[in-house]
Structure 1
Amino acid sequence: MENFTPFTALIGGSLIGLGALILFVFSGRIAGISGIAGAALFSREGRSWRLAFVAGIIAGPLLVGAVISDFSYSTPQLNWQVIVAGLLVGIGTGWGSGCTSGHGICGISRLSPRSITATVLFMFSGMLVATLLH
């Protein structure tokens, strides 16, 4: 939280919301990253737009980093904890019928009780684990 600036958070959140809105308006699809990525890997139907969506998520920070000189981001070191965390998130998105992007961004904006409940549980679980581990 040392480098938190509300302005950049507002811009980033607005762009995420705009992307979710565009996907919904033009294709009727919910921007749930786990569902999009999973179907891009394991389903032939609609694979091209899903791969383009995932490529955009990867290319976005790279493009911004090339344009803005003081932009920085990092990814965690790949170790057993990151692998286990990724597997647990994957299992959780299956159990919860979606991920934080699908429920937290798209579901809450539609006032879905299931999505509101899921997002509260995601946040509580994350805070609990962070508190216990740090």
Structure 2
Amino acid sequence: MESLFNPLIGGLLIGLTATIYLLSTGKVIGISGILSQLLFNKGRLLPFLFIAGLIIGGSAYGTLTEQTVAFPETRSPWLLILSGLLVGYGTRLGGGCTSGHGVCGISRLSPRSIVATLTFMAAAIITVSILN
């Protein structure tokens, strides 16, 4: 039962957060859009607090539950930077990230978000199938 309980609570909290953010700002929640607001727009307090909350919340959870993330191998820092830039470009090209399209777009029945999420999922399934 516990293995179902934690994801259920996490999903409910994500949904609640997305709803509160939409009702309070009129914008859908998505990390790429929030990061863009933090870097390029005025009024940076809310995006800063959101990203700080992600970092603090994840760190607190990892500390309190003593969970660690083991990376299977070491990657080049340059490869990680290039990968991050390509993901950022892709989110701009796709009009949002997986959280924006998958959580907020689908819940609003946005055809663009449904297609984008199906594309993300298909690419992920194909990639895993090829690599495994």
TM over 0.5: yes
Do the aligned partners of residues 85 and 126 (structure 1) sit closer, same or farther apart at CA in structure 2, a change above 3 Å counting?
farther
Q: CA deviation at 1:131?
A: 2.0
> What's the CA shift string for 1:62-100, capped at 9, x where partnerless?
22234x334x24275553443343222112101110001
Letter in 1 for 2:58: P
Do the aligned partners of residues 17 and 78 (structure 1) sit closer, same or farther apart at CA in structure 2, a change above 3 Å counting?
farther
Give me the whole-angstrom Cα distance separating, in 2, the residues matched to 1:56 and 1:22. 15
Residue of structure 2 aligned with 1:115, choices 108, 113, 116: 113
Give me the whole-angstrom Cα distance separating, in 2, the residues matched to 1:112 and 1:41. 27
Do the aligned partners of residues 110 and 73 (structure 1) sit closer, same or farther apart at CA in structure 2, a change above 3 Å counting?
farther
Question: What do you get for the CA RMSD once the two structures are aligned?
Answer: 2.1
Give me the whole-angstrom Cα distance separating, in 2, the residues matched to 1:96 and 1:84. 18
Aligned partner of residue 111 in structure 1, secondary structure: coil
- Check if 1:54 corresponds to 2:51: yes
Do the aligned partners of residues 61 and 118 (structure 1) sit closer, same or farther apart at CA in structure 2, a change above 3 Å counting?
same
Residue of structure 2 aligned with 1:5, choices 3, 14, 19: 3
Residue of structure 2 aligned with 1:69, choices 65, 69, 73: 65
Aligned partner of residue 52 in structure 1, secondary structure: helix
Give me the whole-angstrom Cα distance separating, in 1, the residues matched to 2:81 and 2:13. 29
Q: CA deviation at 1:129?
A: 1.7
Q: How many residues align?
A: 128
Q: CA deviation at 1:7?
A: 1.7
Matched residues, percent identical?
47
TM-score (norm 2): 0.85
Structure-to-structure mapping, 1:1-134, within 5 angstroms: 5-44=3-42, 46-66=43-63, 68-70=64-66, 72-74=67-69, 76=71, 79=76, 80-134=78-132
Q: CA deviation at 1:26?
A: 1.5
Give me the whole-angstrom Cα distance separating, in 2, the residues matched to 1:92 and 1:130. 19
Unpaired runs of at least 5, structure 1: none
Aligned partner of residue 65 in structure 2, secondary structure: coil
